[in-house]
Amino acid sequence: MLLSGMWISVILISLPPHIDTSCSAPQNILDQAREIDKEHSKLTTTKDGVLVDNRGPNFSRFANDCLNDFFKRDEEKYNEKQKHLIFSAVSKTYFYSRDKNLLKEYKTYLNTSGNEYPPGKKYIQENLVQFRGRELTGRKIISSDGSLTDFTEQNVILIISSPYCENSKDLKQWISRELPNISTNIIWAVRRPIGMSIDEFQMNRDYTNYSLLLNSSDWDDIGVWDTPTVLHVQNGKVIRQQVGNLPETKKYLKEYEEFQVAN
């Protein structure tokens, strides 16, 4: 009986994993992407109290270790279904990582591998940000009036928000009413929705008095992008993050205003 039990244990331990991690074929690549989404969907909190969506860094590693490597060495020709599987893995990975290098590698792959896929090319065009004929890199913010700046503010409150989010609108009204000394200096920013062009942002009246935050993959110290998210930024880096229209968020903003008035 003991031998039988030992034999069963050996069999169980030697079973292959349910996910093929070889990055050698479209289906197992998409399976891995789905598994990352599933396993890391729970938000965690750092010692500084910042909420972090771990899918971002995990998908960034996946892009580098799996997808980009696949694009460089793969020589197979695929049918339309398989091309769509690759595209699905790329789009899911980019959604969380916002890794522009991934899109560049995918673009090269589509152009040179013989596996051209028009929806993939359209997706790339929509997501590699262009402004006045050049690709934008780094931490950039563009205001609704069209002015583009590198974000290097020394001491500012930046709030990731949305004109369509009720909690964001409620917080904005509260700040205008309760914190008049800083309300006009706060930057209300929208993380660029996938596929939204700069022209579309500027023409949409809903975004009046909002700024468009570009290249979110370069804002690697923002742990989560829920709206509203209050960011205290010094020298272009996030030093404090408060998520949600909550009492602790308002408490921090009041303390920030008191400090600004006193100094």
Query: Which tokens in the block code for residue 123?
Result: 């997706």
pLDDT reading at 18 higher than 70: no
**Residue 53: phi, psi to the nearest 5?**
-95, 105
pLDDT reading at 251 higher than 50: yes
Residue of 141 and 195 predicted with greater confidence: 141
Residues 236, 229: Cα–Cα separation, whole Å: 16
- pLDDT band for position 49 (cuts 50, 70, 90): low
pLDDT (mean) for 86-92: 96
Please give the pLDDT value at position 209: 87
Lowest mean pLDDT among 74-78, 84-88, 128-132: 128-132
pTM to 2 decimals?
A: 0.61
Q: Give the containing element (helix H, strand E) for 98.
A: none
Please give the pLDDT value at position 140: 79
Please give the pLDDT value at position 20: 52
pLDDT (mean) for 187-195: 83
pLDDT (mean) for 46-68: 83
pLDDT reading at 26 higher than 90: yes
Residues 174, 151: Cα–Cα separation, whole Å: 26
Q: Which residue type occupies 107?
A: K
Within 10 angstroms of residue 188's Cβ, the number of other Cβ atoms is 20
Please give the pLDDT value at position 84: 97
Mean pLDDT score across all residues of the chain:
83
Q: Say which residue the tokens 């031998």 belong to.
A: 3
Which ranges constitute the DSSP H helices of the chain?
2-13, 26-39, 55-62, 68-73, 80-97, 100-112, 118-127, 166-178, 198-203, 247-262
Q: What percentage of the chain reaches a pLDDT higher than 70?
A: 85
Residue of 99 and 216 predicted with greater confidence: 99
Residue of 46 and 127 predicted with greater confidence: 127
Q: Which residue type occupies 224?
A: V
Q: Which residue type occupies 27?
A: Q
Residues 262, 255: Cα–Cα separation, whole Å: 11
67 neighbors 88 (Cβ within 8 angstroms): no
Query: Which tokens in the block code for residue 205?
Result: 């009246």
Query: Which tokens in the block code for residue 147?
Result: 């002015």
**Range among 1-15, 49-63, 96-110, 182-196 with highest mean pLDDT value:** 96-110
| Structure confidence by residue, pLDDT tens digits, 98-113 | 888 999 999 999 999 9
pLDDT reading at 17 higher than 60: no
Residues 79, 68: Cα–Cα separation, whole Å: 20
pLDDT (mean) for 26-53: 83
From residue 116, alpha-carbon distances to 9, 86, 93, 200 in Å are 47, 11, 19, 28
